[in-house]
Structure 1
Amino acid sequence: MNLVPIVMIPGLLCTDDLYRDQIAALAGHPIRIADTTSDASVTAMAERLLADAPESFALCGLSMGGYVALEVLRLAPERVLAAVLMATSHRADIPEQTAMRHQLIATAREEGIEAVARLLCERLVAPETASATLNQRIVEMAAAIGVEGFVRQQQAIIDRPDQSDRLSTINVPVTIVAGEADAIIPPERAREMAAAIPGARLEMLPATGHMVTMERPGRTSAILRRSLTEAAAG
């Protein structure tokens, strides 16, 4: 039995630990974790992913990882068998968001990346799923990315293209996943994407924040398994 390879794309300040439970649940599948730390543009991240990926593959991206996934779908749609877009958006930053990102960069340089991570933890997870253990995992991922990696990622996010006009051209199986309590990216963005992408499936997770793979590991693993089954079926 040929198992469909999947490329998982981490979000801002995230490592492969973002997908720890999904990697375990998909044991046997060829899995690659995209490098989102070396480049300062979403396009460069997508090009690096494509250079390293198999000829055809499934795709999963969370938050910034979703921005990269959408760019991969723009650059090489013929190589993508299926895509799962989690806690992400098709829209470009508005000025207020960009200003906040510059402030976070300043905080990281003045106080360290762990200070930024602890600040973000307050908004990243829903009250129902919050725990000291989850917060510690988030802080440890941020520490692994470091200040300069964070700066590159924020610049990539600030400069990312708006994909709104492209959603209707996507013709691979797409699943959109969002937490109903996401305080980082409004859940309405998920509904907009699902309505605009032909045939897209929408999964709204109740009492869940932005870190859907860590907050709801079993549910998100099941969603990925289903997507890979659909990809294998063609």
Structure 2
Amino acid sequence: MILPLVMLPGLLNDARLWAQQQALIARDRHVQIPDLTQDTSIAAMAARVLQAAPPQFALAALSMGGYVAMEIIRQAPQRVARLALFDTMARPDSADRARVRRGLLELAQMGTFKGVTPQLLPKLIHRNSLGTAAAQQVRDMAQQVGRDGFIRQQQAIIERADYSGLLAHIKVPTLVVVGEDDQITPPAEAQFIHEQIAGSRLVTLAECGHLPPLEHPERTTQLLQEWLAD
């Protein structure tokens, strides 16, 4: 049987994050992209994914989705046959970063939610992707997730567990990918994950920010296909 693939979006992302990869990979295998906007904890998100997922599957995840992926492995390690982590981190936020998250959460709770603004975009994607369809897709996804979804997701991220100790126990074929210019989860975080997961493959993408599936869709698809076929 060909292994199904579950793909997890990040904060303020929906299934469109992985749409270009799904279109090609789904020719050969079942692909599922869960909704991660309904729960207020990473553990609950993971449980919801597991409830709907096939008995065993390959798991690809980006950013917040990576936290959910690690929680899935903690809850049900026997169900994940392969793991691909894009632009994520296992360690907790720094004090400064946690403070920023709490501030954004408080603003949203008071009714101030602007989605992904033009000022925020350069922190998410490389300058070469600004003004492209990928940039508009980022903004559209954020508007679709909306204020309430953002509040739930941000709350879950703030309260997430430290997954750094879990990494050494991951024994499945693992791909770790990061944009060279990622300002949200920088390459040092991907390097840490790679060093902790024995036998993992680390790929750093040039001229890429936090969202490789949109910024470099063909290369992302190629990496996923190689990882699935390895």
Q: TM-score range by the shorter chain?
A: over 0.9
Question: What pairs with 1:22-33 in structure 2 (closer than 5 Å)?
Answer: 22-28=21-27, 29-33=29-33
d(CA) in 2 for partners of 1:135, 1:146: 17
State the alpha-carbon separation in 2 of the partners of residues 25 and 107 from structure 1: 39
RMSD: 1.4
Distance 1:20 1:119 in 2: 25
- Look up the equivalent residue of 1:80 and give its one-letter code: V
Distance across 2 between alignment mates of 1:132 and 1:139: 11
Deviation at 1:110, TM superposition (A): 4.1
Q: Which amino acid aligns with 2:18?
A: Y
| Structure 2 residue aligned with 1:155 | 155
- TM-score calculated relative to the size of structure 2: 0.94
Matched AA of 2:120: L
Q: Which residue of 1 aligns with 2:65?
A: 65
Residue-by-residue CA offset, 1:117-169 (whole Å, 9 max, x unaligned)? 44431200011232242221111101111101100100111011111111111
Instruction: Determine the structure 1 residue equivalent to 2:16.
Output: 17
* Offset, 1:75: 1.2
Partner deviation per Cα, 1:84-110 (whole Å, 9 max, x = no partner): 000000011222112111222344454
Q: Are 1:95 and 2:98 counterparts?
A: no
Distance in 2, Cα, partners of 1:132 & 1:155: 30
Counterpart residue number, 2:122: 122
- Residue 24 of structure 1: CA displacement? 1.3
Match of 2:176 in 1: 176
Give 3-state SS (helix, strand or coil) of 2:161's partner: coil
Counterpart residue type for residue 60 of structure 1: A
Aligned counterparts, 1:29-108, within 5 A: 29-108=29-108
Mean Cα deviation higher: 129-138 or 18-27? 129-138
Compared with structure 1, are the counterparts of its residues 131 and 76 closer, same or farther at alpha carbon in structure 2 (3 Å cutoff)?
A: same
1:194 and 1:201 in contact (8 A); partners too: yes
State the AA in 1 paired with 2:215: E
Structure 2 residue aligned with 1:4: 3
**Distance in 2, Cα, partners of 1:51 & 1:117:** 34
Q: Secondary structure at the match of 2:128?
A: coil
| Unaligned runs of at least 5 residues, structure 2 | none
Deviations 1:150-193 (A, max 9, x none): 00100111011111111111111110000010011111110111
Scaled by the length of structure 1, what TM-score is found? 0.93
Amino acid in the other structure paired with 1:8:
M
What is the CA-CA distance between 1:48 and the residue it aligns to?
A: 0.7
* Residue number in structure 1 paired with 2:113: 112
Please give the per-residue CA displacement for 1:13-32, whole angstroms capped at 9, x wherever unaligned.
00001001101121322011
**Residues 170, 197 of structure 2: 8 Å contact kept:** yes
Q: Is the 1:117–1:142 contact (alpha carbons within 8 Å) kept by the matching residues of 2?
A: no
Segments of structure 1 that go 5 or more residues without pairing to the other structure are: none
CA distance in 2 between partners of 1:55 and 1:111 (Å): 41
AA partner of residue 164 (structure 2): S
Q: Which amino acid aligns with 1:137?
A: Q
* Whole-Å separation in 2 of the counterparts to 1:187 and 1:82: 21
For 1:227, the equivalent position in structure 2 comes to 227
Identity %: 40
Separation of aligned partners in 2, 1:106 and 1:46: 25
CA distance in 2, matches of 1:103, 1:42: 20
